[in-house]
Amino acid sequence: MAMKVLDIDEIEGRRITVPGMTRVLKDILVSKNMTTHLGVIPSGQSSSRHVHLESEEVVYVVKGEGWVETDGERKDLRPNYLVFLEPGEYHQYKSMGKSDLVLFVVYSPPAEVPKK
């Protein structure tokens, strides 16, 4: 097995544009046991409300401010916060600061990254 070092700035992102839910996702790494991506949510925009039925999700807030909401619970986010979601937990992220909300996300086992 070989070590991989990736420059995330060189990975092309894909823009998802839905009114109120514009964001950029960079698919970083997929391995046997996990999927990783970088999510960039512009100020005032949000992710879709979605679920990963079979994967745990760990989210590290790189920069920006916002919130994450699960069924009936909303928590504020800021840099260096970590979010853990169990499989089957519906959730949504929203950027509320002046800059983009940047999230580094890990799914295990691997999950498909949202397409819309």
Q: What is the CATH number of the domain that holds 18?
A: 2.60.120.10
Q: What's the structural domain count of the chain?
A: 1
Residue 17 lies in a domain: yes
Tokens 């790494």 belong to residue = 29
Residue 1 lies in a domain: no
Note whether 40 and 27 are within 8 A (CB): no
Residue 22 lies in a domain: yes
Residue 4 lies in a domain: no
pLDDT on residue 113: 65
Q: Within 10 A of 43 (CB to CB), how many other CB atoms are there? A: 15
Tokens 């999700």 belong to residue = 57
* Mean pLDDT, 10 residues at a time, the chain of 116 residues: 89 89 90 94 93 95 98 95 96 96 96 65
Residue 6 lies in a domain: no
Residue 35 lies in a domain: yes
Contacts for 10 with CB less than 8 Å, ≥ 6 apart: none
Q: What is the span of the domain harbouring residue 74?
A: 12-108
Write down the pTM of the prediction.
Answer: 0.91
Residue 113 lies in a domain: no
